[in-house]
């Protein structure tokens, strides 16, 4: 299972969620700054 795969890496579901959320927020901020500059 996917959960077991991530558990082996020391990431629980909460850590995984925060990781994905962080990536999405970083991408959103980056594109937001790009449009503000234009």
Per-residue confidence at 5, pLDDT binned at 50, 70, 90? low
pTM equals 0.44
- The residue whose two tokens read 């959320």 is 21
* Residue 12 in domain: yes
* Residue 3 in domain: yes
pLDDT digits (tens, 9 = 90+) for 7-36: 676 668 888 889 889 888 888 777 777 767
Q: What 8-state DSSP symbol labels residue 36?
A: H
The 3-state DSSP class for residue 9 equals coil
* Residue 14 in domain: yes
Report whether 32 contacts 22 (CB < 8 A).
Answer: no
The residue among 37 and 18 whose pLDDT is bigger is: 18
* Residue 7 in domain: yes
Q: What is the pLDDT of residue 30?
A: 77
Report whether 17 contacts 6 (CB < 8 A).
Answer: no
Q: 13 lies in which domain range?
A: 1-26
Q: What is the pLDDT of residue 6?
A: 59
Report the domain count for the chain.
1
* Residue 15 in domain: yes
């Amino acid at each position: 299972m996917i959960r077991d795969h991530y558990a082996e890496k020391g990431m629980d579901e909460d850590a995984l969620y925060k990781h994905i959320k962080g990536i999405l927020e970083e991408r959103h901020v980056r594109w937001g700054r790009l449009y503000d500059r234009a």
